[in-house]
Amino acid sequence: MTKSVTYQHTNTYEVVNAITDQTKNIWICAHGLGYLATYFKKYFLHLDNRENSFIVLQAPSKYYQGKDFKHVGASWLTRVDTQQEIGNNVNYIYEVMRAENLMGDPRLVFFGYSQGVSIMTRLMALYNQRIQALIMHSGSIPAELNSSHASIFRQQCDRIIHISGTQDEYVDEQVIKRENKQIDTLFGTMVEIHRPDINHKVDTDLLLQISKTL
């Protein structure tokens, strides 16, 4: 017999550049599988530190990587107890946003990389308040998001940006077909498509370009 229990959990997050009156863009960032927030934040250090502030979230499930147990990574969720883990992650993100007084702030940019795309798109579907931009970088859009969620994305996101490298080793024709269907269903013609000639990595140059247009 499987039972469950509710308990209080503490988690960390990283802040890059304090939020001020000059801050134009407040990025809520979800890293990919195997990352830690303390290292993932390096991808944003080259963006304008007066106009951009970053809240870099930390996935809750840490684990050792490799046979030498030297490096530590983290995961947001798995296919086991997925809905429960989604709820836990959303509760964590909401608490971070409340702690930073960001709920309802129109300057928000939701950014997800790799596995983080599934977190930030699900968050947006539940958050349902206006944000400046949703940026999806090299990750899959969850299958449970469908046409019933389309109005949330199209009405509440000023901009929707999708990035996928043409050399991404995790992307094949089947993935492209599936993702294109999700993109069309959820975002329609308002999505901005970027297809840089890169493998599965963060395109820091493209992020810099995008940040200048927000």
Report if residue 1 sits inside a domain: no
pLDDT < 70 regions, the chain: none
pLDDT at 67: 87
pLDDT at 66: 86
Number of domains observed in the structure of the chain: 1
Order of strands, sheet of 108-113, starting from the edge strand that comes earlier in the sequence: 13-16, 52-57, 25-30, 108-113, 131-137, 157-163, 191-194
Nearest to 210 by CA among 190, 195, 194, 199: 194
CA dist 148 and 161 (Å) reads 20
Report if residue 104 sits inside a domain: yes
What DSSP designation does 47 have?
A: S
pLDDT at 128: 85
CA dist 172 and 151 (Å) reads 29
Report if residue 8 sits inside a domain: no
CA dist 121 and 107 (Å) reads 17
Using alpha carbons only, give the angle 188, 193, 194 rounded to the nearest 5 degrees: 170
pLDDT at 24: 98
Neighbour-count burial for 144-182, b at 16+ CB within 10 Å, e otherwise: ebeeebbebbeeebebbbbbbbeebeebeeeeeeebeeb
What DSSP designation does 184 have?
A: H
Report if residue 26 sits inside a domain: yes
Range of the domain at 103: 13-211
CATH of the domain at 31: 3.40.50.1820
Report if residue 32 sits inside a domain: yes
Residues 6+ apart with CB under 8 A from 86: 77, 122
CA dist 35 and 177 (Å) reads 27
